[in-house]
Structures are given as C-alpha cells and as structure tokens.
Chain A
Amino acid sequence: EATMGPAARQLVEEHKLDAATIKGTGKGGRVTKEDVLTHLREAPKAT
C-alpha cells in the first residue's frame, strides 16, 4: 500500500485513482501531491 500525505490522499479520493499505480517520488517512495498531479496530467481520462 502506498504511503501518502493528506493532500495526496484527498486527490486520490477525489479522482477515484488507484494509489498503487502512482509513482511516488517522496521520501521512501511516498506519493506526494505533486506526484498525483503529474499522474493526472499524464493520464487525464484513465477511468
């Protein structure tokens, strides 16, 4: 399971994403808000 900060968690919830598919660049592979935004930009309609 991906470790996330609160802002990333909220974005994942909002966009109904699968956190496991997002590449985390934070400390210890953590998924940052930045990572979720990048993921959304690169796969905008991946539902």
Chain B
Amino acid sequence: MSDYDVVVIGSGPGGYVAAIKAAQLGLSTACVEEWLDDDGKVRLGGTCLNVGCIPSKALLDSSQKFVEAKEHLGVHGITVKSAEMDVPAMLARKNKIVDQLTGGISGLFKHNGVTPIQGRGKVLAGAKVEVTDREGKVSILDAGNVIIAAGSVPIAIGPAPIDNDCIVDSTGALEFTEVPTRLGVIGAGVIGLELGSVWARLGAEVVMLEALDELLPMMDSQVAKEAGKIFRKQNLDIRLGARVTGTEVKDGKVSVTFTAGGEEHVEVFDKLIVSVGRRPRTEDLLATDCGVTLDERGFIYVNDYCATEAPHVYAVGDVVRGLMLAHKGSEEGVMVAERIAGKPAQVNYDCIPSVIYTHPEVAAVGKTEQQLKSDGISYKAGVFPFAASGRAMAANDTDGIVKILADKETDRVLGCHIVGPSAADLVQQVVIAMEFGASSEDLALTVFAHPTLSETVHEAALAVNGHAIHIANRKQRK
C-alpha cells in the first residue's frame, strides 16, 4: 500500500495543477516543494507565481501606467503636472499580488485535499520519493505514481557571473529598489525584453546585448521585424550580434566587454541583467538507479504523454522538452493526472500560444511563415495593421499588425502572429479557431463586434483571401 496514489515534485504551474487535478479525480495526492517563506512556511506557486509570470506582469502594468501618465495622456487633453514613480511602492504592490496568489494555491490544496510537504524531492527506484526537509531530515514516500515538475533555473554564463548586486538574473531584476540610470541586458528574448521594458519605462537607459543576428528568431520574421521597430522607438537600444566576453564590477558599476561587427566594445552600467535563457532543474533530482533518463540537452526524456522511461514516473513542464511556458506545463500536468486516472487525455502541442507582454504585446500560435516555407507548405497570408482599426485609434494605440497564415489548398488556419495592443487576447481567438480546425473563411464569416480590437483578427482573416474591407488588398498571385 503506497503512502499516496500520486506524489508531485514541485508546486509550479505544472506541479500544482497536476496535484489539484489528481485530487479532483479521487487520487490521494501530495505535493513536495522546497521553497520556503521568510517565516519558514512552504511557499507554493513555483517560478511563475513567485519570480516569473505574475511579478513581471505586475511591474509591466505599473510601469506602463507611468509611461501613459507621463507621455500619452496629453493627446486626450489631460495634463499631469509631474508624474513620479515610487519604486518601493510599486514593488510592495507586486509582492502583495504574489502573496495573494501563492496563498490562494495553499487554499486550493486544502479545498481539494492535496497534502503539501516541505522539502526537496528526489526520485528513487520503484516510484519512491525521498524528501529532505529544511532541517536536513530525510523521509521516504512510497508513491503509486510520481509526477516530476521540478521546473527550470536561469542559465548562468561565465563572462557575467551573478553577484546579486550589480549583476543579477531575472529574479534580481524584479527587486531593484531604485531605477538604474544605465541598465544592460544580456539576451533580447522574452524575459530580457519584458524586464528591459519595465525599467526603460521608469527612466533607465537600456542597452540590450543579443548574441544572435536576428531579434526573436522563433517568432514570425515579419512580426519580429515590426516588433523590433516598435521597441527601438521605445528607447530599447537593441544591439544584435553582440557577444559578451567579460564583465568587471568596480565602485558599484559594471563594465561589460562585448564584440559586435568584428570590433570590441565596452559599455558601463549601474546594473546588468543576465537573461540568456533557462535550463531544466535536474540537479540532485534523480537517483542513479531510478530509471528516469535525460535527453541530450539535459531535459528529462518523456514520450508524447509525458511518461518517463521509469514505470509510473511522469515529468511535465520546463523540465521536459517543448516550450517553457506556464500554460504548457499546466496542460501537461492535467494530461498526466487524467492518464493516471485511466482517461485518454492528450495535449495539442500544435496549438500552444506564446506571448511577450511588452507594450504592445507580441503573441503567436502555430506555424510562422519561415517554417511553412522550409516545410514546403503552400500558404496564403493575410495582414491587417492596427493603424486601420477604429478601436485602436480611439485608444491611441495603433502600432502593430495581425497576420494570419492559411493553407493554400484547404484554407485551414495554420498560424497567427500579432504585435499590437491586446495581442495575447486576440491570438487566443485564433487558438480556439485552430482547435476546431477552422479555415480562414470560418473566421471571415464570423460576426465580430464593432468597434473592437478583435476586428483586426476578422480583417486579417478576410485579407487571407483578398477580401479585407478596411485596407487595400494586395493583388492575389495567380
């Protein structure tokens, strides 16, 4: 007889959702989490709630309101005499939201009968979990099934070691108590762009050093180019092809040496954020004989249903292959809990939206134009600019485009890529359409309320077949 039907290791979006789902399905469930509060209590929610999605969005919203007050209200005839940002107050609000949400998960655990266990979990052979608590006391749980949801950690780089003072990772960048005058960001990916935006809006002079020659290579290249133009207009100084070779911290400043265009450059910053990516957290997680294997990139090896090589052991979220996104981890958690309970659940990996919460937002689902080209799929594209949207004009928020890609033969929607206001919510409409196998004509024949930003999705779908109303359609190639 096992101690629990399911033991989940990690309480991030993959782990806590898996635990709640498993409990809802009638399985006795425990969730092991090592994160401790300041007052020594177990802290649920993982990276997303504590140092990821939620706190970064709280700061993005606060800083955007500041920019609006300072720069964008004049057009409405509103004069703000002197907008000032109280950074500690902004951080306190963010911390309160994090506390509310992590406490909320404790409540949900209680409500659903999930047992939280403080400690560091390690998978042993035979689907057993060793838990080492804060005092170093070791106990062993016998689990019917184990779900590993250990998550990810920021990637460290040799030339810029984190000192949690001048040189910080994404966690430290959420805690600056004052606005740095000059801020360097290594890596112009999702995290770098979001954190760079926060501090740039509050007045920091931001320089972003990106090793690749292209901005956001995983996004549709047309949308990525458009986004790059908008970000540069917002004073993000993005340097592509810039490889950092060294850093030196002296008198509270950090000088960064990098090569770009075959030349060596030096920039001096008050703070430097290292956001070059994240890697799966697998240290001290797997006993050598537990049967769980890693792939060549260090992720836990799983099949399409998140089953590892060891019987009754599953892994979900950032610790396995695929996009490192909270909703991807959560859906995998649900799938695994349901499959343990004997239901034939699956995740549609072709329909996972991804979003960058800059302003405007960047959002995408499905294939990019460059992917369709390299896959040899013939397609049609429809593009609609927010500049032609009445709602966007009324909102004084007209930067960006909506782009929809559809199969040339069947008209099935294959992808949607947006940079623009509320891109995350707009792309979700296309995610739903794609889940139902919609054609671009299905979207075109659907009634969209006027005036709304959603109409830009409608018009982009109409534009796929050259039928957009509010722009001059490109001549159809025969």
Residues 432-459 of B contacting A (Cβ, < 8 Å): 435-439, 441-442, 444-446
1/0 per position for A1-30, CB-CB distance to B under 8 A?
000011110100000000000000111001
Which single member of A6, A10, A27, A32 contacts B412 (CB below 8 Å)? A32
0/1 interface trace, chain B 421-437, chain A, CB 8 Å (1 if under): 00000000000000111
Given contacts A6-B446, A7-B411, A37-B410, contact A32 B438 (CB under 8 A): yes
A-B contact count (CB 8 A): 46
A40 to chain B, nearest CB (A): 12
- Bound CA span A23–B439, Å: 17
Nearest CB to that of A38 among chain B residues? B410
Q: For the complex, would chain A's binding face be called helix, strand, loop or mixed by DSSP majority?
A: helix
Q: How large is the interface on A (under 10, 10 to 19, 20 to 34, 35 or more residues)?
A: 10 to 19
B contact residues around A26 at 8 Å (CB) = 436-437
Minimum CB distance partner of A28 in chain B: B436
The docked-state distance in angstroms from the alpha carbon of A32 to that of B410 is 10
Classify the secondary structure of B's interface with A: loop
Residues of the B chain whose Cβ atoms lie less than 8 Å from the Cβ of A5 = 436-439, 442
Q: Which residues of B contact A33 (CB under 8 A)?
A: 410-412, 438-439, 441-442
Q: How far is the CA of A39 from the CA of B383 in the complex (A)?
A: 30
Cα-based distance from A7 to B442 in the complex (angstroms): 5
* Chain B residues within an 8 Å CB radius of A34: 410-412, 437, 439
In the docked arrangement, what's the CA distance between A34 and B441, Å? 11
Closest residue of B by beta carbon distance from A3: B436
Given contacts A5-B442, A7-B445, contact A25 B410 (CB under 8 A): no
- For B438, list chain A residues within 8 Å (CB): 5, 7, 32-33
Interface centre among B410, B439, B446, by most chain A C-beta atoms within 10 angstroms, is B439
Which B residues are CB-close (under 8 A) to A27? 435-437
B406 to chain A, nearest CB (A): 10
Q: 21 A-B Cβ contacts within 8 A?
A: A5-B439, A6-B442, A6-B445, A7-B438, A7-B444, A10-B445, A26-B436, A26-B437, A27-B435, A27-B436, A27-B437, A30-B436, A30-B437, A32-B436, A32-B437, A32-B438, A32-B439, A33-B438, A34-B412, A34-B437, A34-B439
Chain A residues within 8 Å of B, Cβ to Cβ = 5-8, 10, 25-27, 30, 32-34, 37
- Given A30-B436, A34-B437, 20 extra CB contacts under 8 A: A5-B438, A5-B442, A6-B446, A7-B438, A10-B441, A10-B445, A25-B437, A26-B436, A26-B437, A27-B435, A27-B436, A27-B437, A33-B410, A33-B412, A33-B439, A33-B441, A33-B442, A34-B410, A34-B411, A37-B410
